[in-house]
Amino acid sequence: MRSIELIQPKHIIFGAGYAQDWANIVLAGKKQRVLLLSTHPLWAVLEKSIGNAREKGLELLCLDYSWRAEPDTEIFENLHRQSKDFGPQAIVAIGGGSVLDVGKLLAALSSGTQKPSDVFGKNLLDSRDNLLICVPTTAGTGSEVSPNAILFDLRDGEKKGIISPWLIPDTALIDPEMTFSLPPKLTAETGMDALCHCIEAYTNKYAHPAVDLYALKGIEYVYKNLKTAVKEGNNIEARSAMALASMYGGLCLGPVNTSAVHALSYGLAGKYHFSHGLANAVLLPAVMLFNMEADLEKNARIALAMGLPDKGDLRATARSGIKAIQELSRDCGIPQSLSSLGVKREDLPQLADMAMNVKRLLNNNPRELEWKDALSIYQSIL
């Protein structure tokens, strides 16, 4: 068994109703000046806990992040200036993946002199000396437990990753009730993103048994619960399972990370502004079909983890899993073709070019994937 480094929050609280507890965690950590980052529809929900925090003597700066797109360097720098002026001892981020990513970066850059442009890449952050608490309100990104954050760099129009153990929150406060109000479309897209994290880690060239454990459980939870979460937003059991699936997907990101699905999705997000989850969801079955032959046994085990019957033949079992994932995706309302989402055939070569630039993820893919393979994957789902 090869070596592996598992870095994750030392404190994970999972439970319905716990989101409002953030102020108590700040107080237990003996911090006083708190930056609370959240997003528009949530402020009303947070009113009571904000009042509670102020009553208990916490000094609060509430910053709003309500952009629809993924965060870019300009949006970030504006928030960053306000954060530095305030000098928070604790940062609490409550929202979807973008809010959490921004909150994590604000925390890591709030002291010191580093700018975002200094830290794009892996392990370039110097340190973080404040308390970081993340409360996810979607179930997909896994950002609440991962060392990753994504910013769109306006200087060169590219989406870039910042990966550092300093971006891992101290506490992840995972409250499935916070996802009740997530609309079906976003529930579906983010849920499929969690599934991608798990499948791409499990079939990864750098997969490890200690991470496979999380990946298989996440795959099982998504397959058995996503449709219910999409159709019945207030179903606490389905929302709980999806919240855990997202966490498991996030726990896969640090030690193993994703591969070709995420690499091929960069262009769809960058050029066509697909949401992150949608881009991954559309690509997942096609990339799985491409990768399947690299490890039939693992692909068959994905189907078994989903609860599908063993067909007595690895390839047949593996295929049944991919087919079932495609059906799940369709049943959740995810469009199955790029053209129905406005992608033009003449753009596919450029999308393949963009995918080839995401080497750090393509390097993880279990099967070597060249430009022509990327092109033919896009063509297969056009």
- By the criterion CB under 8 A, which residues form the site for its own copies? 1-18, 165, 168, 170, 176, 209-210, 213-214, 217, 236-237, 240-241, 244
**Is there a contact between 62 and 36 (Cβ–Cβ < 8 Å)?**
yes
At closest approach, how far in Å is the CB of 198 from its own copies?
Answer: 13
At closest approach, how far in Å is the CB of 239 from its own copies?
Answer: 9
At closest approach, how far in Å is the CB of 335 from its own copies?
Answer: 31
Instruction: Residue count of the chain, please give it.
Output: 382
At closest approach, how far in Å is the CB of 1 from its own copies?
Answer: 4
How would you classify residue 204: left for phi > 0, otherwise alpha for psi between -120 and 50, otherwise beta? beta
**Measured between alpha carbons, how far is 189 from 139 in angstroms, rounded to an integer?**
9
Amino acid at 264: L
- Measured from the CB atom, the residue of 47 and 237 that comes closer to its own copies is 237
Residue 162 main-chain phi, psi, to 5 deg: -120, 120
At closest approach, how far in Å is the CB of 165 from its own copies?
Answer: 8
- Measured from the CB atom, the residue of 144 and 373 that comes closer to its own copies is 144
**Is there a contact between 210 and 296 (Cβ–Cβ < 8 Å)?**
no
- Measured from the CB atom, the residue of 177 and 200 that comes closer to its own copies is 177
Count of other CB atoms within 10 angstroms of residue 124:
13
Q: Which of 174, 334, 181 is nearest to 241 (CA)?
A: 174
- Measured from the CB atom, the residue of 98 and 240 that comes closer to its own copies is 240
- Measured from the CB atom, the residue of 96 and 218 that comes closer to its own copies is 218
For residue 377 the two structure tokens come to 């994957």
Residue 68 main-chain phi, psi, to 5 deg: -80, -35
Positive/negative CA dihedral, 82, 86, 90, 95: negative
At closest approach, how far in Å is the CB of 326 from its own copies?
Answer: 27
Q: Which of 356, 219, 206 is nearest to 284 (CA)?
A: 219
- Measured from the CB atom, the residue of 202 and 214 that comes closer to its own copies is 214
At closest approach, how far in Å is the CB of 147 from its own copies?
Answer: 11
At closest approach, how far in Å is the CB of 77 from its own copies?
Answer: 29
Burial of 264-295, coded b for 16+ CB within 10 Å and e otherwise, reads: bbbbbbbebebbbbbbbbbbbbbbbbbbbeeb
For residue 370 the two structure tokens come to 């060249």
**Is there a contact between 299 and 154 (Cβ–Cβ < 8 Å)?**
no
Q: Which of 254, 228, 253, 252 is nearest to 240 (CA)?
A: 228
- Measured from the CB atom, the residue of 130 and 329 that comes closer to its own copies is 130
Distance of alpha carbon 286 from the chain centroid? 20
Angle between helices 348-356 and 260-272 (to 10 degrees): 130
- Measured from the CB atom, the residue of 80 and 298 that comes closer to its own copies is 298
- Measured from the CB atom, the residue of 4 and 69 that comes closer to its own copies is 4
- Measured from the CB atom, the residue of 9 and 366 that comes closer to its own copies is 9
At closest approach, how far in Å is the CB of 113 from its own copies?
Answer: 18
For residue 17 the two structure tokens come to 């109703």
At closest approach, how far in Å is the CB of 225 from its own copies?
Answer: 11
